[in-house]
Structure 1
Amino acid sequence: MRSLTLAEARDRSELITVGSYAVQLDLDQGAEVFGSVATVRFTCASPGADSWVDLKAREIHSIRLNGRELDPATVDEGRLPLPGLAADNELTVDATMAYSHDGQGLHRATDPADGRDYVYGHLFLDAAPSVFVCFDQPDLKAPYGITVKAPQEWTVIGNGATTQTAPGEWRLATTKPLATYFVTVCAGPYVSVRDEHDGIPLGLHARQSLREPLERHAAEIFEVTKQSFDYFHGLFGIRYPFGDYDQVFVPEFNAGAMENPGCVVLRDQYIFRGAATQDELLTRANTVSHEMSHMWFGDLVTMKWWDDLWLNESFAEYMSHRCLVDATQYTEAWVDSSIERKVWGYGAERSPSTHPVAGVEALDAISALQNFDGISYAKGAAALRQLIAYVGDDRFIAGVRAYLTDKSYGNGTLADFLAAIQAASGSDLDGWAKAWLLTAGRDTISVDLAEESGRVTAATLTREAPADHPADRPHALDVAGWTDGTQTARVETTVAAPEVSLEGLVDTPTPAVLVPNASDLTWARVVLSDKTIGALPTQLSQVPDAQTRAVVWSSLVDGLHTAEVAPTVLLDVFEGAWTRERNSSILTRTAGYAEHVVVGVFLPREQRPAARERLARCGRALLDTAEPGSTSSLAAARLVAGTSADEELLRGWATGHGLPAGLEDDGDFRWIVVRNLARRGALSDADIERFRASDDTLQGSLNALMCRAARPDPEAKAWAWDQLTGRNGRSNYEMNHLARGFWAAPSDDLVEPYVARYFVDVPAMSAWVGEDALSRVVTLAFPQVYTDATARRSAETLERGDLTPAVRRSLVDADADLREVLASRAAFGDSA
C-alpha cells in the first residue's frame, strides 16, 4: 500500500473539508470479516476537481458518490479516486473488511480461557481505512456517528456513549471532531465496572476471564483516574470535552495504551492477575494519567502532520509524571522515569537512528513512525522540563492554556505551540528550540575535582556536545556529593558554557560519591569519575536520595553500552547495593537489567551460569530478610526464579510447594520458574503443556509458547522458528513470545544456524505482518549470537533495497546493540 505523503496531505486538506462520518459496522459476520457501510459528507473548495479517499477493503459491494455509482475496480493501493467533485459531496461505501491479528485496524482475539472472542480498534497510524472509508490524515477532523451490530451477548464501547437500541444493536453518541486515527470500537463479552466523577461517567472493561483482578484493581484505577481529572481540570482550565470516559483493557495490544477520546484502550497485562510490585502499579497509574492528558494535548488539539507527533507524546510523558507527583500517592514517579523511561530514551539517542526531537520533516506517514521512539517520549519530556526552567512554570502553563484554547477541536504545529509559550513568557525561544528540539544528540556532563587534605579546592563542570551533532544547550541542573550516607554538598547551576566553575563545592569535604545532574533535571550523558564508580559497591546503598541513586544506575548502564564500564562492575555494584535498595522502581528495574542485559547479553554464554548464580544469591539474601508479601520480597523471588540453578527449589515452586508468601496461586510467577526450567532442558513439551493446561488462559498460552521455544534442543528450535516465521496465523503476541524464547541456549552452536535465516526469513514477513507488529518481531528475534560474522550479515542486510521502513529502522537499532556488545567484549575481554 502507498503511504500518504506530506505534499499529498497538504494538497488534499486545501481542497477537502470533512463535515461528518456516519459509520455502520456489522461485527456479526463470523470470526474473519465484518461489514462496513460508511457515509462521508464533505465539501470541495474547487468544484469539478478530482481527489481520492482511503479504503483498504477485503471486498467492495458498492460505491456511491453524489448519487452516481463508482467502479470498485478503480481502487488502487488503498485509494479510491473521486472524480468531478461538487461543492457539497456525499460518499457512501459498502464493503466487507477483514479483522486483523497483528494489533492494527480492527483486531480480533480469542481468549483460550473460555473460547470467547474480543474485538478492539487500533487505527493508528494509517489503519483507519481498513475499518471504514475515510480521508485518513490527522488534519481532516470530523464528528463521527457510529452504529454497531454485534452478537447479542456482546457489549459495545466506543468514542461516544453507547446505547443499546435492540438486541445486538448499538448506537454511539455523535463525537466531537476527531482525527481518523482516534476512532475506536471495542466489542465483545467484556465485563465492566462503572463509577462517576465530577459529572463524568467512568467505565473499566476487560475480558471475562479477568473479572476477578479487574474488580480487585478497579478502586485503585478509578482513584488515579479521578485524581488526574481534577489535576488536569485545574491545570489547563478546560473541562474534559468528550463525554463518557471508558478505559478498555484489551488482549494483544501492541503498545502500552492508545488515547482514543472517551475510549482509552490499554494492554490488559495492566490488570495484574497475581502479585504486583509498587513500581508496576506506578507504571499503570502513569499510563492512566498519560492517556488522560492526551484528551487535551493530542485529542482536543491534534498535530497537523505526523512530524509533530512527538509533541503529543512529550507533553503527555511530562504531564503524567507531574500529575502523579503532585496529585497521587506515586510521588516518586520521576525516579521511575530516570531508571526506566530515560534509559530507554538514552538507548535511542546512542543509536545511529538518533534524530532531533522535532523538525524532522516526515515526507510520508510511514516514515514518521520510524522516529517515534524514546526520543519522542523521554527526551521530549526532559526538554519540556528544561523549557520550564528557562521561562518559568507559571508562564509555561499560561502558554499551554492559550494554545489549547486557541486550537480547540483543530490542529496545531510546533511553531504554534512555541509561539504561545513565547507570548506568555516574553522569552525568545528560537535559540532554545534550535539547541534542544532541532538538534540531535545529547551533551556529556562530568565534574573534575581538585582536593587537598580531604577538602575540595576546585570543581569544574564540563559540558561536551557530541561532535557529529554540535549544539549550545543550556542545562539547569544540580551536582551532589555523598559520603557514608551524608550529603557533603549540593550545588544548583545553569550550564551555558563548555566549562563552569562550581564554587559551591569548594572547601566542602571531598565526597566518596559525586553525581552530576543528581536530581535528573536535564537530558545528558552523565559520566561518573573512576573514584566514584569504585566506591559505589559500598556507598550507593547509603545515599538516601532515590533520584540520585537512579541517576547513578542510569550512568552505569550508559557506560556499559559505550564500553566504558565493564559488565562485572555493574554486577559488583548490584551485589553491594541491591539488597538494601528501598525504591521499588530501582529495585525491580536493576534486577531485570542485570539478569536479562548484563548477564543475558553482554556476558559470553560460558560466563552466564556463574553470574546467574551470583544474582540468585542476591535474590535469596533479600528474600530471607524482606517482609513477606512486600515489593522487596516479590522482586527477590522473581530474581531467584529466573536465575537459580537449584532445580529442586524450582520444581517445588513450579508445583506450588514452598512458595514465598503472597505467591501461592500466582500463575505469572509460576511461568518465570517454568521458563527457567525449560531453558535448562529440565522440562519436555509435555511438561510445559501440563503447566499450560493448569493456566488455560491467553497469558498461559503465550508463556507456554515462549517456554517451548526456549528448550535447548534442535527439534524445539526448528519448531519455534517455523511457528515464528511461517504463515501459521500466529498473532502479534504469539510471534513476540516465540521470539523472546528462541535464542535461549547453552551455547551458540545450537542457534547459530538460524543467524543467516533471520536475515532472510524475518524481513520476508512484511508480506503478511503489519509494520507496527513486525518492527517488534525484528527487534525481539534479532540473533543473540554476538560475533563478527553476525555483524557482517547484519551490515549486508542493511544494504538491501527491499526492506520496509519499519524493518530497516528496527534492524538499524538492533545492529547498533550488537556492535555495543562486541565493543564491550573487545574492551574487557573474556574476563568481563
Structure 2
Amino acid sequence: MPSLTRDEARQRAQLITVDRMEVDLDLDRGAEQFGSTARIRFSCNAPGETTFLDLRPVSVESVVLNGAPLDVGSVHGGRVALRDLRAENTVEVTATMTYSRDGQGLHRSTDPADGEDYVYGHLFLDAAPTVFACFDQPDLKAPYAVSVRAPQEWVVLGNGRATRTGPGEWELSETLPLATYFVTVCAGPWVSVHDEHDGIPLGIHARRSLRADLERHAPQMLEVTKQSFDHFHRTFDVRYAFGDYDQVFVPEFNAGAMENPGCVTFRDPMLFRGAATREQVLQRSNTIAHEMAHMWFGDLVTMRWWDDLWLNESFAEFMAYTATSAATEFTDSWVEFGIARKQWGYAAERAPSTHPVAGSPAPDAQSALENFDGISYAKGASVLRQLIAHIGEEAFNTGVTAYLRSHEHGNGELSEFLEAMEATHGASLADWSRAWLETAGVDVIALDRDGTLTRTVPEAHPADRTHALDVAGFTGGAETFRTPVTLDAPQVRLDAVPDSAVLLPNAGDLTWAVVDLDAASLAALPAELSRIPDTTARSVLWGAVLTGVFRASVDPKVALDVFTAAWPLESHDALMSRVATAFNDRILPTFLAEDDVEAAEERLAGAALMAFQGATPGSDRALVAARVLAAATTDEDRLSAWVDGRSLPEGLEGDSDFRWLVVQTMARLGLADDTLIAGVEADDTTLSGHLAGLTARAARPEASDKEWAWAEITENRERSNYELNALATGFWSSGSIETLRPYAARYVTDIPRLAQWLGADAHDRVASLAFPSRVVEPGTVELVRTAMAGPRLTAGVRRAMGDELSKLEEALTSRSRWAG
C-alpha cells in the first residue's frame, strides 16, 4: 500500500481541518479480529473538493459521508475517496480489523505463563489506519473520544481516563488534540500500582504474571516519575497538559517505549525479573524521563512533518539525560550517554545512511522510519548541548518556553524553533544551524604533543563547526591539566600542554566529535586508563579505543591489550558492560582473523574472571563481571554448575535470566542438548523463558540446528516479532564459517520475502539481526550489494542491509590493514 507523501500531506492539511474523532473499538470478538467504528468531524475550506481517508481493514461494513452511504468497494490502496465535500463534514466508517503479531497497530499477545491475552496499540509511524479510519498525518491533530468493548475481566487504559460504564464497556475521557500516531488503547487483565503527584494521578501497569516484579520496581519508577515532572515543570514553565499519567509495560513491544500522551507504553523486559545493575536501572529511569519529555516535545507541540522528527527525539534525549543527572540519584547519567548512546550515534555517522540532524529528506512517511537512529537521538542531544554553549542556558530555556507556548496543541518546524531561539539570543543562528543541524558528518579531533589541537572535517560533508570543549592530561592516576578550548579553526595552538602520559581532547565529553588519540597516549592506556579518576574521561577514552577499531585507526589486537589490562579494574558498571559487549559481540568475532579468535576469547574470559574474583560479592561490578564471564567462558564445569544452580555468584540465586545466559553459552559451545534446554524451559514458563529458549536452540552450532532456525525465521508466519528477534540473535552467534557461509546467499533472497506478512518496523529489525555479520568475506559484500541494487527491497530493509554491510566492510578494512 502506498505510503503518504509529504506533498499529499501538505495538500490535505491545506484543504481540511479535523475537529473531532470518535472511535469505538470492539475487542470482544476473539483472538484474530476486532471491530472498529470511527466518526470524524472535519471542515473543508474549499467545498466541492475531494480528499481521502486512510484505512487498512480486513473488511468494510459501511462508509457514510454526510448522511450518504458510499460504496464500500471504494477502498483502494488503503484509502477511501471522499468527494464533493461540504464546509462542515461528518464521515463514519465501520470496519473489521485484524490484530497484529509484529508490534504495530493493535498488537495481541498471549502470556505463556498463565494463558492470558493482552492488547496494546502502537500506532507509530503510520499504523493508525490498521486500527481505525483517520486522516493519518502528524499535523491533522484532533481531540479523541474513545469507547471500548472488551472481555469483562479485562482492564482498559488509554490516552484519556478510563471509566467502566458496564460489564466489558469502557469510555475514555475526551483528549486534547492528538496526532493519530499517539493514540493508544491497552487492554487486558493488567495489575496496577497507583499514586499521585502534584495533582497528577499516576499509574504503572503490567501483565498479571509480572505482579511481583511490578510491585518490587514500582517505588523506584514512581520516584523517578515524580522527580522528572518537577524538573520539567521548572525547566519548561509549562504544566503537563494531558490529565492522568499511566505507564504500561506491554509484551512484545518493538521499541523501548512510546510517548502516547497520558498512556506511555514500555517494553516489559524493563521490569527486571532478576538482578539489575545500577546501569540497567539508570537506562529505565532515563527512558521514563525521555518519554515524559515528549509530553512537551512531540505531544504538546508536534512536528509538522517527519523531516523534523529531531524536534521530538533530540529534545527528549537531551532533556532526559539533563533530568536524570540534575533531579535523580543518577548524577553521572551523562557517562552512560557517552559510552552507550554516543557510540550508537557515531556508528550511524560512519554508515552510508548518515544524514543531518534536522531536515533529513522524508518524501513519504515510511522513509522517515529510517531516520529514527543514533543521529536523531544521540547526535541531536549533543548538538543541543553545543547550542547551550553557544547561546547560554538561560537563553536556551527561555526560548524553549516561548516555542512551547506559541505552538501548544499544534505543530512546529525547524525554522519556528530557530526563531524562538534567535529572539532570546538576540542574533541569527542560521550559520550555526547549517553547520550543526543541517549538515551530516562528524569531525575528528586530535591533540598533538606540541599542543596543537586539530579538527578534521569529513570530506563528504564539509561544515565549519565550532566546538566548545576541554582538553586534559593524566599521569599516574592524577589529572595533570585541564583547559577549556573553543575549536573554531582547523588548528588551534594551546599555550601550554604539560607533559602527560595520556592527552585527551574532549575530556568532558561536551561536543560531538570522534577522538583520535596520539600514539603515546594509546600506548599508555593499558597502565593508565583504569587509574584515571574522572569517569567521564575514562568513558571518552574507552570510546576512542572502540571507534578507533571500527575506523581501522587502532589495531584490534592493541585494543584487546588495553581491554585485558584496564577493564578488570574498571569501576563504573556502565563502562564495564558496554565495553565488554563491544569486544565480545563485535570486535573479537569479526575484526580479528579467524585463527586469532580462540586465543582472544580466552583472554577476554580471563579478564572477566579476574574482574569477577576481584569484585565485592553482590556488587554491580561483580554482577557485570559474572555476566561477561558467563557469556565468554568455555569452562564446562563452571557452566554446568551454574545452570544447575550450584556455586552461583551472590545475588544471582534463582535468577532465570542469568541461567539462560549460561544455557545460551553452552548452546554455542555445543553443550546444550534438547533435554537441557527443555528442562530449563519447564522451570521458566514465562514469555522471557520462551524467547530465551528459542535463542538457545538457534545458537547451537550444528548444521541441522541452523537449518531449523533459518526455516523458523523465514517461513513460519506464526512467529511474533520477538520470536523472530530471538531466533536471529542466536543464529549467528556460533557455527563454523563453512556452516554459516551458505546463509549469506539465503539472507539476501529469504529476508526480503518477510515483507509479505511482517510489518515494516519488525521487518527492518529482523533484517539487521539476521545479517550474515560473521561471514566476513568479500563474497558477502558482493551478495548484499547486488541485492541492494535490485528492486525487491523495501526502503527500510535496504537501509538495514546497507548499515550492516558498512559494519562488515569496517571489519574487512581493519583485517586488511592490521594483518600479520
Using structure 1 for the length normalisation, give the TM-score: 0.98
| Partner-residue secondary structure (3-state), 1:449 | coil
Match of 1:471 among 440, 463, 467: 463
Within 5 A, what are the aligned runs for 1:371-386? 371-386=371-386
Question: 2 CA distance for matches of 1:809 and 1:578?
Answer: 34
Question: 1 CA distance for matches of 2:83 and 2:688?
Answer: 49
Contact 2:701 2:736 in 1 (8 A): no
Match of 1:702 among 688, 691, 704: 691
Q: Which residue of 1 aligns with 2:76?
A: 76
Q: Which residue of 2 aligns with 1:686?
A: 675
Match of 1:815 among 805, 811, 817: 805
Of 618-627 and 799-808, more deviation after overlay is shown by 618-627
Q: Which residue of 2 aligns with 1:494?
A: 486
Question: 1 CA distance for matches of 2:664 and 2:590?
Answer: 17
Contact 1:311 1:380 in 2 (8 A): no
Of 794-803 and 53-62, more deviation after overlay is shown by 794-803
Tell whether 2:116 aligns with 1:116. Answer: yes
TM-aligned CA deviation for residue 679 of structure 1: 0.7
Match of 2:580 among 577, 591, 595: 591
Question: 1 CA distance for matches of 2:668 and 2:595?
Answer: 15
Tell whether 2:304 aligns with 1:315. Answer: no
Q: Which residue of 1 aligns with 2:443?
A: 443
| Partner-residue secondary structure (3-state), 1:163 | strand
Deviations 1:189-214, CA, capped at 9 Å, x for gaps: 11111111011000001111111111
Question: 2 CA distance for matches of 1:321 and 1:516?
Answer: 22
Question: 2 CA distance for matches of 1:647 and 1:486?
Answer: 42
Contact 1:202 1:245 in 2 (8 A): yes
| Partner-residue secondary structure (3-state), 1:171 | strand
Deviations 1:84-135, CA, capped at 9 Å, x for gaps: 1111111111111000011100011111111111111000010000000000
Tell whether 2:708 aligns with 1:719. Answer: yes
Structure 2 unaligned spans of 5+: none
Question: 2 CA distance for matches of 1:437 and 1:575?
Answer: 39
| Partner-residue secondary structure (3-state), 1:757 | helix
Q: Which residue of 2 aligns with 1:135?
A: 135
Q: Which residue of 2 aligns with 1:511?
A: 500
The code of the aligned residue for 2:115 comes to G
Q: Which residue of 2 aligns with 1:404?
A: 404
Deviations 1:354-401, CA, capped at 9 Å, x for gaps: 111112231111111122210000111111010000000000000000
Question: 1 CA distance for matches of 2:600 and 2:624?
Answer: 18
Of 353-362 and 487-496, more deviation after overlay is shown by 353-362
TM-aligned CA deviation for residue 686 of structure 1: 2.8
Within 5 A, what are the aligned runs for 1:98-247? 98-247=98-247
TM-aligned CA deviation for residue 744 of structure 1: 2.7
Root mean square deviation of aligned Cα: 0.9
Contact 1:195 1:202 in 2 (8 A): yes
Question: 2 CA distance for matches of 1:413 and 1:744?
Answer: 43
Q: Which residue of 1 aligns with 2:764?
A: 775
Using structure 2 for the length normalisation, give the TM-score: 0.99
Question: 1 CA distance for matches of 2:110 and 2:687?
Answer: 8
Contact 1:482 1:543 in 2 (8 A): yes
Tell whether 2:635 aligns with 1:661. Answer: no
Deviations 1:748-784, CA, capped at 9 Å, x for gaps: 0111111111100001111111111111111100012
The code of the aligned residue for 1:808 comes to R
TM-aligned CA deviation for residue 468 of structure 1: 1.2
The code of the aligned residue for 1:820 comes to E
Question: 1 CA distance for matches of 2:513 and 2:564?
Answer: 27
Within 5 A, what are the aligned runs for 1:546-561? 546-561=535-550
TM-aligned CA deviation for residue 605 of structure 1: 4.1
Deviations 1:243-301, CA, capped at 9 Å, x for gaps: 00000011111111000000000010110000001100000000000000000011000
| Partner-residue secondary structure (3-state), 1:361 | coil
Question: 2 CA distance for matches of 1:260 and 1:601?
Answer: 39
Of 737-746 and 762-771, more deviation after overlay is shown by 737-746
The code of the aligned residue for 1:491 comes to T
Question: 1 CA distance for matches of 2:632 and 2:594?
Answer: 14
| Partner-residue secondary structure (3-state), 1:11 | helix
Question: 2 CA distance for matches of 1:175 and 1:806?
Answer: 33
Contact 1:605 1:746 in 2 (8 A): no
Deviations 1:764-822, CA, capped at 9 Å, x for gaps: 11111111111111110001211111111011111102211111110110110110011
Tell whether 2:796 aligns with 1:806. Answer: yes
Of 719-728 and 226-235, more deviation after overlay is shown by 719-728
Question: 1 CA distance for matches of 2:675 and 2:38?
Answer: 49
Contact 2:225 2:289 in 1 (8 A): yes
TM-aligned CA deviation for residue 233 of structure 1: 0.5
| Partner-residue secondary structure (3-state), 2:638 | helix
Of 380-389 and 351-360, more deviation after overlay is shown by 351-360
Q: Which residue of 2 aligns with 1:456?
A: none
Within 5 A, what are the aligned runs for 1:410-429? 410-429=410-429
Within 5 A, what are the aligned runs for 1:635-650? 635-650=624-639
Structure 1 unaligned spans of 5+: 451-458
Deviations 1:392-411, CA, capped at 9 Å, x for gaps: 00000000000000000000
Contact 1:311 1:376 in 2 (8 A): no
| Partner-residue secondary structure (3-state), 1:48 | coil
The code of the aligned residue for 1:718 comes to E
TM-aligned CA deviation for residue 568 of structure 1: 1.6
Within 5 A, what are the aligned runs for 1:611-622? 611-622=600-611
| Partner-residue secondary structure (3-state), 1:687 | helix
Deviations 1:150-199, CA, capped at 9 Å, x for gaps: 11111111000111111211110100000000000000111111111011
Question: 2 CA distance for matches of 1:486 and 1:421?
Answer: 40
Question: 2 CA distance for matches of 1:113 and 1:613?
Answer: 38
Match of 1:749 among 733, 738, 741: 738
Q: Which residue of 2 aligns with 1:737?
A: 726
Question: 2 CA distance for matches of 1:600 and 1:787?
Answer: 13
Q: Which residue of 1 aligns with 2:474?
A: 482
Contact 1:391 1:427 in 2 (8 A): no
Residues matched between the structures, number:
819
Contact 2:57 2:97 in 1 (8 A): yes
Match of 2:569 among 552, 562, 580: 580
The code of the aligned residue for 1:468 comes to A
Match of 2:776 among 772, 786, 789: 786
Within 5 A, what are the aligned runs for 1:389-400? 389-400=389-400
Question: 1 CA distance for matches of 2:276 and 2:159?
Answer: 30
| Partner-residue secondary structure (3-state), 1:470 | coil
Q: Which residue of 1 aligns with 2:560?
A: 571
Q: Which residue of 2 aligns with 1:455?
A: none
TM-aligned CA deviation for residue 746 of structure 1: 4.0
Q: Which residue of 1 aligns with 2:787?
A: 797
| Partner-residue secondary structure (3-state), 1:494 | strand
Question: 2 CA distance for matches of 1:360 and 1:442?
Answer: 16
Question: 2 CA distance for matches of 1:601 and 1:86?
Answer: 63
Question: 2 CA distance for matches of 1:176 and 1:622?
Answer: 53
Question: 2 CA distance for matches of 1:746 and 1:718?
Answer: 12
Question: 1 CA distance for matches of 2:298 and 2:72?
Answer: 34
Question: 1 CA distance for matches of 2:557 and 2:52?
Answer: 60
Contact 1:605 1:747 in 2 (8 A): no
Question: 2 CA distance for matches of 1:30 and 1:241?
Answer: 36
TM-aligned CA deviation for residue 745 of structure 1: 2.7
| Partner-residue secondary structure (3-state), 2:707 | helix
Q: Which residue of 2 aligns with 1:454?
A: none
Question: 1 CA distance for matches of 2:209 and 2:644?
Answer: 22
Question: 2 CA distance for matches of 1:66 and 1:606?
Answer: 73
| Partner-residue secondary structure (3-state), 2:114 | coil
